[in-house]
Structure 1
Amino acid sequence: MTITIDESSRSPTRLEGKPGAIVVCWILGLGSLISWTSMLIIGDYYYQLFPKYHPSRVLTLVYQPFAIGTIAILAYKGEKLNTRKRNLVGYVLFFLGTFALLLLDLGTSGKGGLGNYIGICVIVASFGVADANVQGGVIGDLSFMCPEFIQSYLAGVAASGTLISGLRLVTKAAFEHFNNGLRKGVILFVAVSTFFEFLCIILYAFIFPKLPIVKYYRAKAASEGSKTVTADLAAAGITTPSESVDDAKQVEKLSKKKLFIENIDYALDIYLTYVVTLSIFPGFLYENTGTHNLGSWYPTVLVAVCNLWDFISRYIPLIKKVELKSRKGLMIVTLSRFLLIPCFYFTAKYGDQGWMILLVSFLGLTNGYLTVCVLTAAPKGYKGPEANALGNILVLCLLSGIFFGVVLDWLWLIGNSGF
């Protein structure tokens, strides 16, 4: 590459567009998960349509293999991928999937049945592929930029759950006494999800690559040998000369292996964090918490509370005094979360709804906090290509943790007569 950067005149602190980039990253994070979050939040609707099919558990189990398989391939081939195309494909898949979900419900008039259930499973599988494209692509891209961008993106990811949970509570209350009110509420916020996915396509394609600070970081990464940013730089009007590198494939393989070994504790942190969270959320909250004073509202409230605290906690690391940077400290906190599993078991069996809401709050709080601390700390000190590769590796670990957590979630059904 022959790109040169005048560090004295083009320091990131002197470039315009950082506040705008932070806002765009937040919205891109929202779009990265809002479609899938919508599927989780409308679990009560799907339990009404498909009461014998364990929808919250089955749909999550369908989603994860496609997400993990796709991110594994993309992480391996990452150095050759067009990041711009990858992310746009992901957001377009999300948009088409949510729109198809809306059309499926309207076309079948909200009826159950195995055929409709299979159709929903196909859409969920497409969400898994889209998730792997977007989360790995965007986090890899932001990993060589300033940490505030990753934090904002991750906050947007959590905001999808908070937004949809809040909207779900509002629509449940507003349509509760209407004929077929549950379905009307579901249609409303699936439509909202579709709109946000379309917005993400526009922002990523036309706005984000042209922000000065984004162009600076991408040009810097290109000067360090990154090939994934070429299309994004071209979209911003910056041309990069092509270059061939001998044995590039072998160098990338060694680099990824070394990156993983150097950051294996971070990889375990993010993996185990999501193993614990997904072994409880959402299946246990829908099927194993019993009946309390809140009645049909109980699981919806639990999911909303977990999402709310997950969202709030992703801003806590911005307070530098409470940001956990110690690698040893991160591992200790991560491992201590396994104590939540027996706590949830005994609370569901003997406790009241107040204690359960407290536990769910702590689950969401620690999940969001650890996610931001790990994903902002790990890429520091690496050049553009290595930071991008490490971001994809950590997303692979995150999705693997989600998958294993989902599998463990089925263990709660042992001894349950409904299994």
Structure 2
Amino acid sequence: MEAKEEATVSLLHHTTPTNNGDDVITNHDSFNLAYIIYLILGTGMLLPWNAFITAVDYFNYLYPDRSIDRIFAVVYQSVSLLCLLLIVFCFRKFHAYVRINIGLGLFLIALLVVPLMDWFYIRGQSGLYDGFYVTIGVVGLSGVANALVQGSIIGSAAELPERYMQAVVSGTSASGVLVSLMRIFTKAVYPQGSNDGLRNSAILYFIVAILFMVICFILFNVVSRLPVIKHHNSKLRNEPELIQEELPLSASIWETIQKIRWYGFGITLVYIVALSIFPGSVTEDVHSTALGDWYAILLITCYNVFDLIGKSLTAVYLLKNANIALGASFTRLLFYPLYLGCLHGPQFFRTEIPVISLTSLLGFTTGYFASVLMILTPKMVQLQHSETAGILVVVFLILGLAIGSIFSWFWVI
């Protein structure tokens, strides 16, 4: 484990106060506007992924003999991981502002394809598998966009005071809650006894998601012009640490990996456990006669709400000892035997209340301990490596998601 002294020094670098009157003014986040925008951007960068997996009822109707969420997860996370590694080792000097704008544009294209394809080709018909392959393609395109947007936003937030990283991380959970509420609302608007009702609700759902991504595009191009963000970026450019001679890119990356590797592994493990169970096993392997196809949506909503509660809790109480969070990431392996009990155990454990309770606990622990590790890890390196550490945090995160999405198939076996 790396020394706490480096984390303390780095935290001081990020939050050093100033006595200059102008600095006090520019350092003030008026109306918490920058914080709110980073929260919305955190929501937006995972909204397309959540939009695809939460429309499981619609895609299961169109393609009834495909394991939708498991296939989506493998494609999305694998593509994201590959593209993120290319960014880290080959294109990191490509300006983050450009990467994020390109990524947001790709998100919009991916989301647009689904309603357009339904209007002009599928027209609510089940079993048109050309549409399935196109959907898989746009899920992969969203994976590319995610690597561009998520890596860059978290990397830039790592250079700012920790409240902005907390905003981004909380936003990623708010994304799941928002999408779940969107799906519940759009599903409730139309009668679900007919295929037309399911189709129309799904189209409305994707239109709302598209409008939200347009808002994110506008807000991202506003936030860099706010005085508080200009102030912090100016301080970074003038830090003596950043003026010194830099290491070669590859040496800088490997040096940073050495310092954060254990905490990065903790992030990976948190998401291996989470994604090997959710959404695949939660949405496809447990069933409710009483709730029907609402059951999967209810479970996704419970997970997302408690994931948001866990990540938001770090704004009130942030566990400063990352070693405890690392230990908790290993303890969460106990979810595997508990979920086996829900699938193959006594009848009581297979009923709605135990499954909903366990899914909520999975969401809460994922949210809190992942948030703690993601906030503290970039502060454990020197200031000039904080952006690299932030991007590497996303690499560890997506590595966990990719491995977890593959492990989710073992429930089927």
Give TM-score scaled by structure 1 length. Answer: 0.88
- CA separation of 1:354/1:390 partners in 2, compared to 1, >3 Å: closer, same or farther? same
Q: How far 1:57 sits from its partner (Å)? A: 0.9
CA contact (8 A) 2:268 2:397 kept: yes
**Between Structure 1 and Structure 2, which shows a larger proportion of helix residues?**
2
The correspondence of residues 351-366 of structure 1 with structure 2, limited to 5 A, is: 351=349, 352-366=351-365
The one of 271, 274, 277 aligned to 1:274:
271
Once residues 25 and 194 of structure 1 are traced to their aligned partners in structure 2, the CA distance between those partners, rounded to angstroms, is: 19
2:176 paired with 1:161: yes
Structure 1 gap ranges (5+): 228-242, 415-419
Which residue is 1:408 aligned to? Answer: 407
Alignment equivalent of 2:110, drawn from 88, 97, 107: 97
Residue 42 of structure 1, CA deviation: 0.5
d(CA) in 1 for partners of 2:62, 2:400: 29
Give the CA deviation at 1:383: 4.6
Structure 2 unpaired stretches of 5+ = 1-15
User: Helix, strand or coil: the match of 1:263?
Assistant: helix
- Deviation of the 1:78 alpha carbon: 5.6
How far apart, in 2, do the equivalents of 1:202 and 1:173 lie? 30
Task: Identify which of 51, 57, 63 aligns with 1:50.
Answer: 63
Contact 1:290 1:348 in 2 (8 A): no
Q: 2: CA distance between counterparts of 1:114 and 1:222?
A: 52
Q: Distance in 1 between matches of 2:51 and 2:137?
A: 16
Alpha-carbon shift at residue 259 of structure 1 (Å): 1.1
Equivalent runs, 1:277-316 vs 2, <5 Å: 277-316=274-313
1:23 maps to which residue? 36
Deviations 1:36-85 (A, max 9, x none): 11100001111111111211111111112210011001122465120100
Aligned to 2:229: 214
Q: Which residue in 1 is equivalent to 2:136?
A: 121
Rounded Cα–Cα distance in structure 1 between residues aligned with 2:25 and 2:326: 33
Superposition map of 1:79-90 within 5 A: 79-90=92-103
Q: Is structure 2 residue 326 aligned with structure 1 residue 331?
A: yes
1:238 corresponds in structure 2 to none
Q: Is the 8 A contact 1:292 1:353 kept in 2?
A: no
Q: 1-side partners of 2:340 and 2:23: how far apart?
A: 53
Output the CA distance in 2 between the equivalents of 1:107 and 1:226. 57
* 1:224-264 residue CA offsets vs partner (Å, 9 max, x unmatched): 4899xxxxxxxxxxxxxxx9x98x5x523222212111111
Which stretch shifts more, 170-179 or 215-224?
Answer: 170-179
Percent identity over the alignment is 27
| Residues 191 and 24 (structure 1), Cα distance of their counterparts in 2 relative to 1, 3 Å cut | same
Of the structure 1 ranges 375-384 and 334-343, higher mean CA displacement relative to structure 2 is found in 375-384
Q: Aligned pair in 2 of structure 1 residues 11, 333: CA closer, same or farther (>3 Å)?
A: farther
Return closer, same or farther for 1:12/1:286 CA change in 2, 3 Å cut-off: farther
For residues 352 and 140 of structure 2, what CA distance do their matches in structure 1 show?
34
Measured on the aligned residues, the alpha-carbon RMSD in Å equals 2.2
Equivalent position amino acid for 2:204 in 1: L
Deviation by residue 1:146-199 (Cα, 9 ceiling, x = unmatched): 111111111111111101111212232332346421111111111111011111
> Aligned partners of 1:100 and 1:280: how far apart in 2?
28
AA aligned to 1:49 is: L
Q: Structure 1 pair 12/137, CA: closer, same or farther in 2 (3 Å)?
A: farther
For 1:282-317, what per-residue CA distance to the aligned partner results, in whole angstroms no more than 9, with x for missing partners? 110122113342222211111110011111211111
Amino acid at match of 2:201: G
Measure, in 2, the Cα distance between the counterparts of 1:174 and 1:273: 36
> 1:173 corresponds to which letter in structure 2?
A
1:187 aligns with 2:203: yes
Question: Per-residue displacement from partner, 1:309-363 (whole Å, max 9, x unpaired)?
Answer: 111211111223xx22213211111001010011011023331110000000001
Say if 1:348 and 1:356, in contact at 8 Å, map to a contact too: no
SS at match of 1:325: coil
TM-score normalised over the length of structure 2: 0.89
Report what 1:318 is aligned to. 315
Q: How far apart, CA to CA, are the structure 1 residues paired with 2:255 and 2:307?
A: 32
Partner of 1:236: none
Q: Is the 8 A contact 1:12 1:216 kept in 2?
A: no
- SS of the residue corresponding to residue 210 of structure 1 reads coil
* Counterparts of 2:277 and 2:315, CA distance in 1: 27
Q: What amino acid maps onto 1:314 in structure 2?
A: K
Displacement of 1:17: 2.8
Question: 1:369: which partner in 2?
Answer: 368
1:312 is paired with a residue of what secondary structure?
helix
Out of 65, 90, 93, the position equivalent to 2:78 is 65
Q: Distance in 2 between matches of 1:378 and 1:13?
A: 29
Specify the SS of the correspondent of 2:378.
coil
Indicate the SS of the match to 1:379.
helix
Residue 235 of structure 1 is matched in structure 2 by: none
Match of 2:120 among 107, 126, 137: 107
Q: What is the total number of aligned residue pairs between the two structures? A: 389
Counterpart CA distance in 2 for 1:336 and 1:290 is 27
Change (3 A) 1:31 1:25: same
Q: Which is further off, 287-296 or 179-188?
A: 287-296
